């Protein structure tokens, strides 16, 4: 059995209180929500924070999913507080009826037990993953650690891509590419106040420093775009029917006018440290009526652009081949739903 | 012998006798045990696959608060190993480490965290050496642990007589047991200087012997209690370093010491499936008769011997028990590599060759244009016969198994008839019901059972057997309950305690039902005979008129005349003294007398056949298993519910091996395990498990208790080749290795699959054995001898294998 290392534990009741603690504890404090990602990492001594600030009792983060009017905006927007569990998001009526693809995506994460503990905020802030990083301290000692887990040493190369200037650990969050493609809005709270950021800017292509966010900043809520004329899908590739992180994910969001594609957003995950937008594929679709050859063209562009590393389950060359297949299937699904 | 119509308990699908504590979390596993003043132990393990230890510095570790005692290799001087020929491990390594995870030092502390911190504080100077991480490399380096060569008949003559010759290379990847319960052990010193060890082990008796040896204590001062196992599958049938280490720590500190291993550590102590490279050449006649078979295997043994000598011989032993083979030759070697040691896993050494043979038969059938089911049925080994390598086959229900799955699956309408992407595959298998020989040379019974009847009617049964989840407790209770006419849940079981129970060799090689069952029948029969004598005297009727049933003794001719079981016990106790009886079992002697004949003989052989239906996505190579039909010749199902559970469990494990499980290492990075955890080591989830249709074939074996044979391992065997054959039927590509990763399927479809080659290998020595039909000693074998009595107690050693190379075991 492995046990957790020692840490101090705060359980603030309000956002204000949480922000204050995070600010005063500084560097050594780490945010924990459901703990389904952080605690396993702590057990393996990948992260050993001496202070944890739990968001579980922060009331603002556990409000109901509801519509809000955005300043001066006529549209109503749905807001998801970050502290809701994946099961709560998945089963929510408003989500199921208006954003069924979010329900479907969240239901594909991990296992039922983990989903009733893990939060949507934690999923969006999920640590990047790598077969050389998500290992015990003893294991990492054997390979003399890696760029992301240097254990006090300097100049350790990436074990997957030794020439790489940055860590290539994979973004493995299932919801991240979908929210990127949806162009949702993330709300972030800290001592300095509140800011909003587009998901595509929230993620960085660096496995070590993978979020454009300071450690003490809390992701408080997610605002969704209007669901009108929105066609979205996320397909996930993994070894087994449950349990597994994605080895590849493809999110496609289309805005249509009549039969024509007006806007297209396509993001892939698990092939890079951030969800990756495939502009070529988007271009191939805009203005089309999703004709099969256009879909194939978009899929082929995505396949060509993807450069998966050998840091997840399955071989990278196969995952690269699968980029085309998965995106093709995602787009065909959208096409068949439309007609 | 038994009138099937009169059976009250045997053959009934009753819940396991220990189901309630197992399901309610009340059962105490080794990790649940606590004792006053107990210390916790952690082990520091090698970070390198191959290195020499230059210097160990414990100064920092000693200063960690709470540390009580530290052990290193210097504290142990006696090597151990499960087989007498492979005494090649030390509890803690002193000079050389040969795999990542090899134990180097042990730390006992007041709490687990302090022991962990102390282990972290050790400082060792290593001289790192390049490890050998593959079969090919070790063969080149001459790191051969053991080689074997046996020829039965004349294969060259056989090949000349055949019309067609098939030859191919096959590879079976290594994989691990993945029992849910992680290994744990607690050693408790007694005030009188004796020692008790509780451990999650499948082999309390061998553990007892090994502790006595390595601690240099008389066995009488050591007591081993096997705690209930949360699964074993062969992974708890070696003696392990941590068991010896906590025992020594308890003796030295005078305090109880417990260790609970992490999942990662279990991937290192392993002893699972040997990765095996195979070459198979088969000569067949036009009608499919196998006139000659030449099989070669190279096993990646990992760093130590374990059961390896037996594993090697098992890859060559059971080819002959399913289909008639006229001439047969086996050559093989087990190689040492710098990886976690391999050993027995469900099927022990036989799933690999079975994979090769069953795929090759599919190819033969296609070439000869015979239906694969028909081809197999035409050439079945006969019941009550002897194979070319001198295995005595008793009951043989494979034909019926094939019929069942062919019918159930709708084979005739599906084979080569389903649309592209969908396919069915068929394969068979056969397995031993206990090994004919113990793993160390001795003429003693393999299993004994003791029964004590209480005046109040209580029945206590004592036996060294350990239930590892397979249901052997229920089997034991059912057998005794049947004979004494009481309910199985009324019986008190005391098992696997070397102070209190007579020896049973352990839960491996599918031996428990057959051997413990027979010993239990003997003991129970003796007890009921005493009761019958006493009751017959009271009623003044002859003993054969008395029947025990529903907790009462009845007069068969006048069922109104009855008395309580407890009264019967009292009558017997008054007449004979305390009612305590014993029964023992030793397997019959095997006719094989050649060197190496110790592996393969068994009192009986189980048979299975399976049809697997798959859907293969030709764009991704992903295989979906749609359904599995499997028939298993169990002889007689003592508890059909348990038996079906074992069949389904075997299917589950077989599918995992076929599709995804692999124990692999990173040669480039110090030989670390690729995925030592349950998230990254892939085995099927409930979502991936297809529907399984199980058929039980009951072809009673004269050697089995009530005719029963094994079920714990055999049903795994047909699964991997049936999947590979189904993939061929679905998309027309032949893949001769597992796991069948989607990458491999896709590559094969694009004709890009790398071709495996078999290195040049010839066994240095091949023993030529005349066929039984040509041999003067076995021509004496009459069918009477083949049908030996089920309770025959034979105490003579039964093979030409010298003690130094005895190895007749399985998982
Ligand atoms: C066996 C297993 C399988 C899994 N499979 C999947 C899978 O298939 N797909 C997938 O996407 N995930 C998977 N996960 C990961 C994880 O369970 C989920 O991503 C979950 O949603 C994480 O949420 P949490 O609340 O538990 O996060 P935590 O563990 O509490 O936190 C994760 C990270 O996010 C930070 N964080 C959490 N909340 C906030 C916040 N509001 N503001 C700022 N930072 C925050 C934490 O500091 C931490 O770094 C799996 C985990 C396990 C153990």
Residues B402-426 as b or e (16 or more Cβ within 10 Å = b): bbbbbebbebeebbeebeeebbbbb
Sign of the Cα torsion B592, B598, B601, B603 reads positive
φ and ψ of B614, to 5 deg: -125, 160
What is the dotted CATH code of the domain comprising A230-338? 3.30.390.50
Report CB contact under 8 Å: A244, B687: no
Look at residues B649, B686, B682, B638 and name the one whose alpha carbon lies nearest to residue B664.
Answer: B682
Domain boundaries, chain A: 230-338
Using the mean position of ligand 1's atoms as its centre, give its distance from the Cα of residue A239 in Å: 20
Question: Could you identify the residue written with the tokens 């590419």?
Answer: A177
Rounded CA-CA distance A69/A295 in Å is 36
Residues 6+ apart with CB under 8 A from A54: A9, A10, A11, A12, A32, A33
Q: Which of B260, B620, B666 sits opposite A1 (nearest CB)?
A: B260
| pLDDT for B599 | 94
* Helix axes B719-731 and B351-368, enclosed angle (nearest 10): 40
**CA A304-A310-A315 angle, 5° bins:** 75
* pLDDT confidence tier of residue B810, bands split at 50, 70 and 90: very low
* E strand or H helix that includes residue A181: helix A175-182
Using the mean position of ligand 1's atoms as its centre, give its distance from the Cα of residue A39 in Å: 10
φ and ψ of B225, to 5 deg: -120, 120
Q: Is the CB of A34 under 6 A from ligand 1?
A: yes
Cis ω before A57 (30° cut-off from 0):
no
Report CB contact under 8 Å: B746, A315: no
Tell me the chain A residues in contact with residue B100 when contact means C-beta distances shorter than 8 Å.
142
Give the residues across from B693 on adjacent strands: B629
Residues B604-619 as b or e (16 or more Cβ within 10 Å = b): bbbbbbbbbbbbbbee
Using the mean position of ligand 1's atoms as its centre, give its distance from the Cα of residue B482 in Å: 55
Using the mean position of ligand 1's atoms as its centre, give its distance from the Cα of residue A115 in Å: 10
Using the mean position of ligand 1's atoms as its centre, give its distance from the Cα of residue A170 in Å: 14
Look at residues B254, B260, B223, B222 and name the one whose alpha carbon lies nearest to residue B240.
Answer: B260
Q: Is the pLDDT of residue B561 over 90?
A: yes
- Average pLDDT in the B694-713 region? 97
Q: Which of B264, B685, B746 sits opposite A136 (nearest CB)?
A: B264
Q: What is the pLDDT of residues B653-690, one digit of tens each?
A: 999 999 999 999 999 999 999 999 999 999 999 999 99
| pLDDT for B752 | 80
| Alpha-carbon torsion angle B634, B638, B642, B648, nearest 10 | 10
Burial of B441 (0-12, 13-18, 19+ CB in 10 A): middle
Contact (Cβ atoms closer than 8 angstroms) between residue B608 and residue B806: no
Q: Whose CA is nearest to atom 28 of ligand 1?
A: A35
- Average pLDDT in the B322-332 region? 98
CB pairs under 8 A between A and B: 73
Read off the tokens for B433: 């019901």
Q: Which of B45, B113, B743 sits opposite A315 (nearest CB)?
A: B743
The answer as to CATH 3.40.50.2300 being correct for domain B33-130+180-231+236-269 is no
| pLDDT for B785 | 39
Report CB contact under 8 Å: B687, A241: yes
Rounded CA-CA distance B688/B679 in Å is 15
Residues 6+ apart with CB under 8 A from A274: A171, A203, A204, A205, A206, A210
DSSP H stretches of helix in B485-541:
512-539
Q: What is the pLDDT of residues B335-374, one digit of tens each?
A: 999 999 999 999 999 999 999 999 999 999 999 999 999 9
The beta-strand segments (E) located in chain A are 8-10, 29-32, 51-54, 66-69, 76-81, 185-190, 193-197, 218-223, 230-237, 248-257, 260-269, 276-277
Question: Could you identify the residue written with the tokens 């760093």?
Answer: B303
Q: Is the pLDDT of residue B811 over 90?
A: no
| pLDDT for B312 | 98
Q: How many CB atoms lie within 10 A of CB B47?
A: 24
Q: Is the CB of A306 under 6 A from ligand 1?
A: no
> Closest approach of chain A CAs to the CA of B304, in angstroms?
21
Residues 6+ apart with CB under 8 A from B383: B393, B394, B395, B396, B699
Q: Which of B47, B621, B741 sits opposite A138 (nearest CB)?
A: B47
Read off the tokens for B673: 């395990």
Does the CB of B672 have a partner CB in chain A at under 8 Å? yes
Tell me the chain B residues in contact with residue A240 when contact means C-beta distances shorter than 8 Å.
660, 682, 684-685, 687-688
> Closest approach of chain B CAs to the CA of A315, in angstroms?
7
- Tally helices (H) and strands (E) across chain A: 13, 12
Q: How many CB atoms lie within 10 A of CB B602?
A: 32
Rounded CA-CA distance A237/A330 in Å is 11
Q: Which fold has domain B438-585?
A: Aldehyde Oxidoreductase; domain 4 (3.30.365)
Q: What is the pLDDT of residues B729-753, one digit of tens each?
A: 999 999 999 999 999 999 999 988 7
Q: Is the pLDDT of residue B788 over 60?
A: no
Better-scored residue on pLDDT, B471 or A68: B471
| pLDDT for B769 | 96
Whole-Å CA distances, B165 to B426, B644, B733, B781:
21, 39, 20, 33
Whole-Å CA distances, B632 to A274, B268, B517, B604:
51, 33, 19, 14
Tell me the chain A residues in contact with residue B200 when contact means C-beta distances shorter than 8 Å.
none
Rounded CA-CA distance B467/B201 in Å is 10
DSSP A68-137: EE-TT--SEEEEEETTSBHHHHHH-HHHHHH-HHHHHHHHTSS-HHHHTTSBHHHHHTPPPB-TTTSS-H
Using the mean position of ligand 1's atoms as its centre, give its distance from the Cα of residue B25 in Å: 29
DSSP B183-214: PEEEEEE-TTS-EEEEE--S-HHHHHHHHHHH
Does the CB of B112 have a partner CB in chain A at under 8 Å? yes
Report CB contact under 8 Å: B262, A314: no
Pairing mode, if any, of strands B96-97 and B623-633? unpaired
Contact (Cβ atoms closer than 8 angstroms) between residue B195 and residue B223: yes
DSSP H stretches of helix in B146-192:
155-161
- For the CA of A238, the closest atom of ligand 1 is 8
Report CB contact under 8 Å: B620, A325: yes
In a mutational test of the A interface, the residue from B41, B183, B669 whose CB has the highest number of chain A CBs within 10 Å is B669
Using the mean position of ligand 1's atoms as its centre, give its distance from the Cα of residue A113 in Å: 13
Rounded CA-CA distance A281/B268 in Å is 46
Domain boundaries, chain B: 33-130+180-231+236-269, 145-176+272-437+600-749, 438-585
Q: What is the pLDDT of residues B89-121, one digit of tens each?
A: 999 999 999 999 999 999 999 999 999 999 999
In a mutational test of the A interface, the residue from B97, B119, B620 whose CB has the highest number of chain A CBs within 10 Å is B620
Pairing mode, if any, of strands B491-495 and B459-463? parallel
Q: Whose CA is nearest to atom 19 of ligand 1?
A: A123
Chain B from 602 to 621: CB within 8 A of any A CB: 619-621
| pLDDT for A150 | 86
Residues in chain B: 811
Q: Is the pLDDT of residue B184 over 70?
A: yes
Q: Is the pLDDT of residue B794 over 50?
A: no
Rounded CA-CA distance B485/B725 in Å is 48
Report CB contact under 8 Å: B685, A241: yes
- Average pLDDT in the B77-93 region? 97
Rounded CA-CA distance B463/B461 in Å is 7
Residues 6+ apart with CB under 8 A from B291: B158, B159, B161, B162, B283, B284, B285, B326, B327
* pLDDT confidence tier of residue B802, bands split at 50, 70 and 90: very low
Q: Which of A12, A14, A51, A109 to mutate to test the pocket of ligand 1 (most atoms within 8 A of CB)?
A: A109
Whether B438-585 and B145-176+272-437+600-749 are alike in CATH topology: the answer is: yes
Nearest chain B residue to A130, by CA: B680
* E strand or H helix that includes residue B583: strand B579-585
Rounded CA-CA distance B741/B174 in Å is 14
Report CB contact under 8 Å: A141, B742: no
What is the percent of chain B with per-residue pLDDT over 90, rounded to a whole number?
93
Give the residues across from B225 on adjacent strands: B198, B497
Report CB contact under 8 Å: A1, B182: yes
The beta-strand segments (E) located in B358-472 are 385-386, 392-393, 422-432, 447-453, 459-463
Q: Is the pLDDT of residue B803 over 60?
A: no
State the pTM of this model: 0.95
Q: Is the CB of A32 under 6 A from ligand 1?
A: yes
Tell me the chain A residues in contact with residue B45 when contact means C-beta distances shorter than 8 Å.
138
* pLDDT confidence tier of residue B2, bands split at 50, 70 and 90: low
One of 3.40.1160.10, 3.30.365.10, 3.40.50.1820, 3.40.1440.10 is the CATH number of B145-176+272-437+600-749, namely 3.30.365.10
Q: What is the pLDDT of residues B564-589, one digit of tens each?
A: 999 999 999 999 999 999 999 999 99
| Alpha-carbon torsion angle A71, A74, A76, A81, nearest 10 | -10
Reported ipTM: the value is: 0.96
Laid out side by side, the sheet with B767-769 consists of: B737-738, B164-172, B276-284, B290-300, B328-335, B144-152, B767-769
Q: What is the pLDDT of residues B610-639, one digit of tens each?
A: 999 999 999 999 999 999 999 999 999 999
Say which DSSP state B449 is in.
E
Q: What is the pLDDT of residues B370-382, one digit of tens each?
A: 999 999 999 999 9
Sign of the Cα torsion B107, B234, B744, B741 reads negative
Tell me the chain B residues in contact with residue A133 when contact means C-beta distances shorter than 8 Å.
none
Tell me the chain B residues in contact with residue A140 when contact means C-beta distances shorter than 8 Å.
none
Burial of B54 (0-12, 13-18, 19+ CB in 10 A): exposed
Q: Is the pLDDT of residue B792 over 80?
A: no
Nearest chain A residue to B41, by CA: A1
Tell me the chain A residues in contact with residue B112 when contact means C-beta distances shorter than 8 Å.
1, 3
| pLDDT for B808 | 38
Burial of B776 (0-12, 13-18, 19+ CB in 10 A): exposed
Per-residue pLDDT tens digits of chain A, which is 339 residues long: 688 999 999 999 999 999 999 999 998 999 999 999 999 999 999 999 999 999 999 999 999 999 987 666 667 899 999 999 999 999 999 999 999 999 999 999 999 999 999 999 999 999 999 999 999 999 999 999 999 988 888 889 999 999 999 999 999 999 999 999 999 999 999 999 999 999 999 999 999 999 999 999 999 999 999 998 899 999 999 999 999 999 999 999 999 998 999 999 999 999 999 999 999 999 999 999 999 999 999 999 999 999 999 999 999 999 999 999 999 999 999 999 875
**CA B507-B512-B517 angle, 5° bins:** 155
| pLDDT for B697 | 98
Using the mean position of ligand 1's atoms as its centre, give its distance from the Cα of residue A46 in Å: 15
Nearest chain B residue to A245, by CA: B679
Read off the tokens for B151: 């020829």
Question: Could you identify the residue written with the tokens 């004329």?
Answer: A229
> Closest approach of chain B CAs to the CA of A313, in angstroms?
7
Q: Tell me the three state secondary structure of residue A252.
A: strand
> Closest approach of chain B CAs to the CA of A166, in angstroms?
20
Q: Cα–chain-centroid distance for residue B585?
A: 19
Report CB contact under 8 Å: B669, A314: no
**CA B281-B334-B312 angle, 5° bins:** 65
| pLDDT for A110 | 97
Q: Is the CB of A33 under 6 A from ligand 1?
A: yes
| pLDDT for A71 | 66
HSE-CB at B554 with a 13 A cutoff on CA atoms is 12
């Amino acid at each position: 059995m492995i046990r957790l290392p020692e840490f101090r534990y705060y359980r603030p009741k309000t956002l204000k209180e949480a922000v204050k603690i995070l600010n005063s504890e500084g560097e050594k404090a780490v945010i924990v929500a459901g703990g389904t990602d952080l605690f396993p990492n702590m057990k393996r001594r990948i992260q050993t924070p001496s202070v944890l600030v739990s968001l579980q009792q922060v009331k603002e983060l556990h409000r109901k999913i509801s519509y809000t009017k955005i300043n001066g905006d006529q549209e109503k927007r749905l807001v998801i507080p970050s502290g809701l569990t994946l099961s709560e998001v998945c089963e929510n009526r408003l989500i199921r009826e208006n954003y069924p693809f979010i329900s479907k995506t969240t239901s594909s994460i991990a296992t039922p037990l983990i989903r009733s503990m893990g939060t949507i905020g934690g999923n969006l802030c999920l640590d990047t993953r790598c077969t050389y990083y998500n290992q015990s301290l003893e294991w990492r000692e054997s390979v003399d650690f890696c760029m992301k887990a240097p254990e006090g040493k300097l100049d350790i190369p990436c074990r997957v891509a030794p020439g790489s200037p940055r860590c290539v650990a994979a973004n493995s969050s299932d919801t991240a590419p979908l929210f990127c493609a949806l162009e949702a809005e993330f709300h972030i709270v800290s001592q300095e106040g509140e800011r909003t950021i587009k998901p595509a800017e929230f993620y960085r292509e660096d496995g070590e420093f993978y979020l454009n966010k300071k450690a003490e900043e809390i992701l408080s809520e997610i605002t969704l775009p209007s669901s009108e004329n929105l066609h979205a899908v996320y397909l996930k590739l993994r070894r087994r029917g449950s349990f597994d992180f994605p080895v590849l994910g493809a999110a496609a969001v289309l805005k249509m006018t009549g039969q024509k594609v007006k806007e297209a957003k396509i993001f892939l995950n698990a092939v890079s440290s951030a969800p990756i937008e495939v502009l070529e594929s988007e271009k191939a679709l805009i203005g089309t009526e999703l004709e099969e050859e256009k879909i194939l063209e978009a899929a082929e562009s995505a396949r060509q652009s993807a450069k998966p590393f050998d840091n997840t389950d399955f071989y990278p060359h196969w995952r690269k081949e699968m980029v085309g297949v998965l995106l093709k299937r995602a787009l065909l699904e959208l096409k068949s739903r439309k007609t | 012998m038994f009138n099937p119509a009169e059976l009250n308990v045997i053959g009934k699908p009753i819940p396991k006798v220990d189901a309630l504590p197992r399901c309610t979390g009340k059962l105490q596993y080794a990790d649940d045990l606590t004792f006053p003043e107990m210390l916790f132990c952690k082990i520091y393990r090698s970070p390198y696959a191959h290195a020499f230890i230059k210097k160990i510095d414990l100064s920092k570790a000693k200063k960690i608060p709470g540390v009580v005692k530290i052990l290193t290799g210097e504290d142990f001087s006696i090597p151990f190993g499960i087989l007498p020929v492979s005494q090649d491990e030390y509890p803690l390594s002193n000079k050389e480490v040969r795999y990542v995870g090899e134990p180097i030092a042990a730390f006992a502390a007041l709490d687990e965290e302090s022991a962990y911190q102390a282990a972290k504080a050790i400082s060792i100077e290593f001289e790192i050496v390049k490890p050998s991480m593959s079969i090919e490399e070790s063969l080149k380096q001459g790191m051969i642990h053991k080689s074997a060569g046996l020829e039965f008949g004349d294969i060259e003559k056989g090949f000349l007589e055949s019309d067609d010759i098939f030859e191919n290379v096959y590879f079976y990847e290594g994989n691990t047991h993945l029992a849910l319960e992680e290994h744990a052990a607690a050693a408790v010193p007694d005030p009188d200087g004796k020692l008790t060890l509780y451990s999650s082990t499948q082999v309390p008796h061998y553990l007892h012997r090994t502790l006595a040896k390595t601690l240099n204590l008389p066995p009488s001062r050591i007591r081993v209690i096997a705690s209930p196992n949360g699964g074993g599958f062969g992974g708890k049938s070696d003696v392990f370093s941590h068991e010896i280490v906590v025992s020594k720590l308890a003796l030295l500190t005078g305090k109880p010491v417990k260790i609970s291993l992490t999942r990662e550590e279990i991937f290192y102590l392993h002893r699972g499936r040997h990765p095996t490279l195979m070459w198979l050449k088969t000569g067949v006649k036009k009608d499919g008769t196998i006139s000659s078979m030449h099989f070669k295997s190279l096993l990646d043994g990992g760093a130590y011997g374990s059961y390896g000598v037996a594993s090697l011989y098992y890859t060559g032993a059971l080819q002959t028990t399913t289909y008639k083979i006229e001439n047969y030759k086996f050559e093989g070697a087990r190689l040492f590599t710098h990886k976690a040691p391999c050993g027995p896993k469900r099927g022990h050494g036989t799933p690999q060759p079975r994979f090769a043979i069953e795929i090759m038969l599919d190819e033969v059938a296609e070439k000869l244009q015979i239906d694969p089911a028909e081809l197999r049925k035409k050439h079945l080994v006969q019941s009550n016969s002897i194979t070319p390598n001198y295995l005595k086959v008793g009951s043989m229900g494979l034909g019926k198994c094939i019929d069942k799955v062919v019918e159930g699956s709708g084979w005739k309408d599906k084979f080569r008839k389903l649309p592209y992407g969908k396919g069915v595959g068929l394969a068979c298998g056969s397995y031993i019901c206990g090994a004919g020989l113990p793993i160390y040379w001795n003429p003693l019974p393999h299993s004994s059972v003791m029964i004590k009847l209480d005046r109040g009617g209580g029945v206590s049964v004592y036996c060294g057997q350990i239930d590892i989840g397979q249901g052997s407790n229920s089997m034991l209770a059912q057998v005794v309950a049947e004979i004494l006419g009481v309910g199985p849940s009324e019986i008190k079981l005391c098992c696997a305690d070397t102070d209190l129970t007579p020896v049973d060799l352990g839960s491996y090689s599918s031996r428990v039902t057959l051997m413990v069952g027979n010993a239990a029948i003997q003991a129970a029969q003796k007890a009921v005979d005493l009761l019958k004598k006493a009751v017959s005297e009271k009623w003044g009727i002859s003993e054969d008129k008395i029947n025990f049933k529903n907790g009462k003794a009845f007069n068969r001719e006048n069922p109104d005349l009855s008395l309580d079981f407890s009264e019967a016990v009292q009558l017997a106790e008054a007449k004979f003294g305390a009612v305590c009886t014993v029964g023992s079992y030793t397997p019959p002697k095997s006719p094989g007398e050649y060197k190496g004949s110790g592996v393969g003989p068994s009192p009986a052989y189980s048979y299975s056949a399976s049809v697997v239906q798959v859907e293969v996505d030709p764009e991704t190579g992903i295989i979906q298993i749609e359904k599995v039909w499997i028939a298993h010749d169990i002889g007689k199902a003592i508890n059909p519910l348990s038996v079906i559970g074992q069949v389904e469990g075997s299917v589950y494990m077989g599918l995992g091996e076929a599709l995804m499980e692999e124990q692999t290492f990173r040669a480039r990075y110090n030989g670390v395990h690729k995925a030592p955890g349950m998230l990254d080591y892939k085995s099927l989830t409930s979502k991936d498990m297809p529907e399984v249709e199980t058929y039980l074939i009951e072809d009673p074996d004269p050697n089995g208790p009530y005719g029963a044979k094994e079920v714990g391992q055999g049903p795994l065997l047909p699964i991997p080749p049936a999947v590979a054959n189904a993939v061929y039927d679905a998309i027309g590509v032949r893949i001769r290795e597992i796991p069948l990763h989607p990458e491999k399927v896709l590559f094969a479809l694009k004709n890009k699959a790398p071709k495996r080659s078999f290195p040049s290998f010839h066994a240095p020595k091949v023993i030529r054995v005349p066929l039984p039909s040509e041999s003067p000693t076995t021509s004496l074998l009459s069918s009477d001898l083949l049908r030996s009595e089920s309770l025959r107690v034979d105490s003579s050693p039964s093979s030409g294998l010298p003690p130094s190379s005895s190895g007749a075991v399985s998982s």
